Amino acid sequence: MSKFEGVVVSDQWLNSQFMQVELRTLKSKFVSLKDQNGNVTLGDLPHLMVKLKEFRDTYNEDEIRGILGESDDNVTNDIDFEAFLRAYLNLQSQATEKQDGRRHSSSFLKESVTTLLHTISDSEQACYVAHINSYLGDDPFLKQFLPLDPATNDLFDLVKDGVLLCKLINVAVPGTIDERAINTTRNLSLWQRNDNHTLCLNSAKAIGCTVVNIGAQDLVEGRPHLVLGLISQIIKIQLLADLNLKKTPQLVELVDDSQDIEELLSLSPEKVLLKWMNFHIQRGGYQKTVKNFSSDVKDGEAYAYLLNVLAPEHSSPATLDTKDAYERANLVLDHAERMGCKRYLSARDIREGSSNLNLAFVAQLFHHRSGLSTDTKKMSFATMMTDDAQTSREERCFRLWINSLGISTYVYNVFEDVRNGWILLEVLDKIFPGSVNWNHATKPPIRMPFRKVENCNQVVKIGKQLRFSLVNVAGSDIVQGNKKLILVLLMRFTMLQLLKRLRSHSQGREISDADILKWANRKVNSTGRTSHIESFKDKSLSNGLFFLDLLSAVEPRVVNWNLVTKGEKDDEKRLNATYIISVARKLGCSIFLLPDDIMEVNQKMILTLTASIMYWSLQQQSEDTDPFPSPAGTATTTTPEASPAPSVYGEDESSFSLGGEFSNISVDDATSDISVSSEGVLVGDEL
């Protein structure tokens, strides 16, 4: 389907030390050193190595030359790529020792990102395998391979074709992937596996997983630390999915008044779960407050009180009477099992304070028996405080997009989390590195309100520098949580990122929404199809046929036309819309819209979808001239800012000019238009 090609390292041990994204980056660095004869010598390395961020703060060029000279004193000797990798690992190892081991073994990985942890305990692996066996044991395709044995490599062997991870994502958030788009034949080719993993990674981002620097090839190889890290996130999302007022309005019982409800809306799912647990154990007479899922639950007492409140019919005095913590932990698990909760963790896991497994255990108890009442008056009040459907969808889209960027802060609620300005500054710095003056920014937690305003004022200042049309907008508008303003700003940030990427493939010229529209129509018409749209508000888009034509035009084999409906009825439109999103992700598009956005022709989401498909298509054209093409559709593609750029419009490009600016992107649909400029918000027509 796409030009899939990983960097091949013949030495298996050496290959296991790197992810594909690392190999691709190092390969490009190595190739840049080649002379006219295509050779690289040992003496060429110090000048390159000292510029790498892994070493520039640790060594100078002479120190690197000395370290490399210890293994081979002849600097004129030619070296190959694998010798370069060994030299890199040698330097990295010594740098770690020099820094007293404070640095992670791979600088490509962020310690705060759970997907990228290198070590996961055997207990966690056993728990995840038990979860998979339980939830996917009856799957028509996977049941032939299940149950998995946690003591073997069954899990890592099975994930190599991508089907298991796609199915697990649908368990966590049903309907995320149209399973018709998953390749499920018995013997999958390398291309088909790559397609499945690309679909998996882009869908994982679309449910809130952080998958920075993981490529399809890493999953094809079944790398345990990456596989388990991703599975851990997917399961966590599943277990915490209902811990919000929209899904479980009964949670309003945990608070007393409207102000507390607003606070509850802003809490992360983990904190809501802690609040729920403390609510019950305090009712049961427990005197302490549980603040975490590790040290505070290690003795099992909090669990004993919680289970006595939730399932008093199965309680036993022995649980609290025993002085042996291991015995108490076993009694707690027996109690939970009698109330119907499967035993995924062990007494040892409780005693060792495994935060992931204990969180999963408490979440399981919540799902099985929340112990909350159904006070209809309180529940209706809580429902009134949640956003309307479209606002909720847009908040979800931008929340997931921000989390996909790999910034240090994880966003749980856009409208609450961005009010201190810090996250917006992180996003801007990610899109335009160097645009933020961090000396004038305050990192959370921020106690002084004026510091939040200062952060947000800098956001507005940078927005003006980027030619946003801001009318009477101040940082205080963001601090006050103006939802329309926040959504519009994030829409502009999203388009800035997309347009920056598109510009890198259009010989540096700016691209407007009109150019994207013209490209899409020409691309479809070039295949002989007659589909045509007048704008991104064209109601004919609701049936999905134009996007299916466009996807087929950029990659002829991607659409199975036997699965496409006429799109005349709502159920047919939904089938097409769901299929479009999965096919686009399978190609490699990182998109966060929902089928409803296509069916209702949400102009903003339609524009981003089209621009994402355009970016993917132009990437493939660039790779035709790239001597080291990236695995098409992987989630770790980097934007080559100065790569040889193909024509955006082919041979007819000269027939019109790409003279637009970022401010030319126009989003003015009535449903989300912001036109109250006198109140200090963005003017919709100027978007």
Task: Give me the average pLDDT of each 10-residue run along the chain (687 residues).
Answer: 57 66 78 81 81 72 76 68 83 62 32 41 89 95 94 93 96 96 89 93 94 83 88 94 88 78 83 95 94 94 96 92 93 93 86 91 94 69 61 90 89 92 94 92 92 95 88 90 92 88 78 92 94 96 97 94 95 97 96 95 94 92 49 37 35 31 40 33 34
Distance of alpha carbon 26 from alpha carbon 88, whole angstroms:
9
Distance of alpha carbon 517 from alpha carbon 596, whole angstroms:
21
Q: Closest by alpha carbon to 47, among 63, 35, 36?
A: 63
SS3 41: strand
- Give the model's pLDDT for residue 614: 95
- Give the model's pLDDT for residue 267: 86
Q: Please give the radius of gyration of the chain, using alpha carbons only, rounded to the nearest integer.
A: 27
Can you give the pTM of this predicted structure?
0.76
Distance of alpha carbon 656 from alpha carbon 399, whole angstroms:
37
- Give the model's pLDDT for residue 57: 65
Say how many residues make up the chain.
687
**Angstrom distances, CA of residue 575 to CA of 229, 464, 533, 571, 603:** 32, 41, 21, 6, 20
Q: Which CATH topology does 249-383 take?
A: Actin-binding Protein, T-fimbrin; domain 1 (1.10.418)
DSSP character string of 390-447: HHHHHHHHHHHHHHHTT-SSPPS-HHHHTTTSHHHHHHHHHHSTT-S-GGG--PSS--
- Give the model's pLDDT for residue 56: 67
- Give the model's pLDDT for residue 101: 38
Under 8 Å between Cβ of 528 and 553: no
Give me the helix-helix angle, 269-283 and 355-368, nearest 10°. Answer: 70
Distance of alpha carbon 300 from alpha carbon 277, whole angstroms:
13
**pLDDT tens track for 116-127:** 344 567 888 999
A 10 A CB-CB count for 653 gives 15
In sequence order, the β-bridge partners of residue 41 are 78
Q: Closest by alpha carbon to 552, among 588, 583, 577, 522?
A: 583
* Residue extents of the structural domains in the chain: 12-100, 122-240, 249-383, 388-504, 513-622
In sequence order, the β-bridge partners of residue 78 are 41
Asked, colleague to colleague, whether 122-240 and 513-622 share their fold, the answer is yes
- Give the model's pLDDT for residue 255: 85
CATH architecture, domain 513-622? Orthogonal Bundle (1.10)
Q: Which CATH class is domain 12-100?
A: mainly alpha
Q: Closest by alpha carbon to 575, among 169, 178, 174, 171?
A: 178
CATH number of 388-504: 1.10.418.10
Task: Please give the structure tokens belonging to residue 578.
Answer: 């769901």
List the beta strands (DSSP E) in 211-297: none
CA 454 to chain CA centroid, Å, is 29
Q: Closest by alpha carbon to 328, among 348, 356, 357?
A: 348
CATH number (3.40.50.1220, 1.10.390.10, 1.10.418.10, 3.10.100.10) of 122-240 reads: 1.10.418.10
- Which residues does 571 contact at the CB level (< 8 Å), separation at least 6? none
Distance of alpha carbon 546 from alpha carbon 141, whole angstroms:
32
